[in-house]
């Protein structure tokens, strides 16, 4: 018998293949998005903190100008074998005062004015969860913008392990906080003026073997009492909370405490742990500053860092 032919092919069924292809592509895309969301645990919106009762006092965008300078500096560091990673860093508040990051911190200055009205003193502690959250950038820039408003400001680098304010401000580090607290120097000997920023500062000093114990000494309270009487605002930059206990010691003596969190780097859980640790030490956290905001097309914010190690600096 002659073969019977059909005008339409039996296989493959094109419509079914197209439908299955679309569904498979959709599932793969959704799975990829969910996987990325699970891997990226960093804070993406201020609402994530506010949902847990943590006030967000300011969102500070990443300075593209400073980031470009730091990329060029890193390139020079790698090629020339420079010894110090923290030297010759631009001071944004003076080198580019119209930068959006500086403008955001000017807004923080206004919010802080009202937040500190009922504080026990005019001492402000600024800390963070982990290294590289940007606490030194935020605290030093805040010191500059407050000084620009005509107030007398003292900035204290209380990170006696890895503080680098002396490099940032290009000041002498032979006499600083560690020398004052160990009784080797008087208060007036350790205070230096950072002309570029318009404020006074106490640098870290030489690295001591017992930073936390020095901060618990009565000399530290006496230093703060002395500074509180002479300055409109005293800003203390401390080591990260999840690494060492120094911030809890300092926080008990400060009238106001703010934390710095970096977008996409620090998680909500980390910030909640920080607040809890401070509360256990009797320190009330006023709020959080979100730093380094980089908005992407997906409305997410980049960075990744999950390391709590905090060793002594060799500088």
Q: Homologous superfamily of 42-293 in CATH? A: P-loop containing nucleotide triphosphate hydrolases (3.40.50.300)
Residue 205's pLDDT is what? 96
Residue 300's pLDDT is what? 41
d(CA 185, CA 172): 14
Nearest CA to 183 among 148, 208, 162? Answer: 208
Residue 21's pLDDT is what? 77
Residue 93's pLDDT is what? 94
3-state secondary structure of 105: helix
Residue 11's pLDDT is what? 59
d(CA 251, CA 116): 14
**Cβ–Cβ < 8 Å for 177, 158:** yes
Look up the pTM and report it: 0.80
Nearest CA to 166 among 137, 196, 204, 140? Answer: 204
CA angle 202, 204, 207 (to 5 degrees): 155
- What stretches of the chain adopt beta strand conformation (E)? 56-61, 123-128, 153-157, 192-194, 199-202, 233-237, 256-262, 287-293
pLDDT per residue, tens digit, the chain (315 aa), is 565 555 666 556 667 767 777 777 877 666 655 555 554 578 988 999 999 999 999 999 999 999 888 877 666 555 554 444 556 788 999 999 999 999 999 999 999 998 899 899 999 999 999 998 999 999 999 999 999 999 999 999 999 999 999 999 999 999 999 999 999 999 889 999 999 999 999 999 999 999 999 999 999 999 999 999 999 999 999 999 999 999 999 999 999 999 999 999 999 999 999 999 999 999 999 999 999 998 764 444 333 333 344 454 545
Residue 235's pLDDT is what? 99
């Amino acid at each position: 018998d002659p073969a019977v032919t059909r005008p339409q092919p039996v296989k493959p069924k094109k419509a079914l293949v197209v439908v299955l292809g679309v569904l498979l592509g959709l599932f793969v895309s959704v799975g990829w998005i969910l996987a990325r969301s699970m891997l990226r645990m960093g804070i993406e919106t201020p609402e994530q903190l506010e949902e847990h009762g943590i006030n967000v006092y300011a969102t500070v965008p990443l300075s593209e100008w400073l980031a470009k300078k730091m990329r060029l500096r890193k390139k020079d560091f790698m090629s020339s074998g420079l010894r110090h990673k923290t030297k010759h860093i631009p001071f944004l508040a003076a080198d580019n005062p119209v930068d959006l990051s500086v403008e955001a911190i000017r807004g923080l200055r206004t919010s802080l004015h009202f937040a500190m009205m009922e504080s026990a003193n005019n001492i402000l502690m600024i800390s963070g969860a982990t290294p590289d959250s940007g606490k030194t950038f935020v605290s030093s820039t805040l010191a500059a913008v407050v000084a620009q408003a005509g107030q007398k400001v003292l900035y204290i680098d209380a990170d006696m392990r890895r503080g680098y304010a002396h490099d940032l401000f290009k000041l002498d580090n032979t006499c600083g906080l560690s020398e004052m607290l160990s009784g080797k120097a008087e208060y007036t000997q350790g205070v230096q003026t950072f002309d570029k920023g318009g404020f006074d500062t106490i640098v870290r000093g030489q690295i001591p073997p017992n930073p936390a114990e020095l901060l618990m000494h009565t000399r530290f309270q006496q230093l703060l009492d002395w500074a509180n009487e002479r300055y409109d605002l005293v800003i203390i930059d401390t080591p990260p909370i999840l690494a060492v206990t120094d911030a809890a010691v300092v926080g008990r003596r400060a009238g106001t405490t703010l934390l710095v969190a970096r977008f996409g780097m620090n998680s909500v859980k980390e910030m909640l742990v920080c607040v809890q640790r401070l509360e256990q030490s009797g320190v009330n956290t006023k709020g959080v500053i979100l730093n380094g905001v980089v908005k992407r097309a997906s409305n997410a914010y980049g960075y990744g860092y999950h390391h709590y190690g905090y060793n002594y600096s060799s500088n």
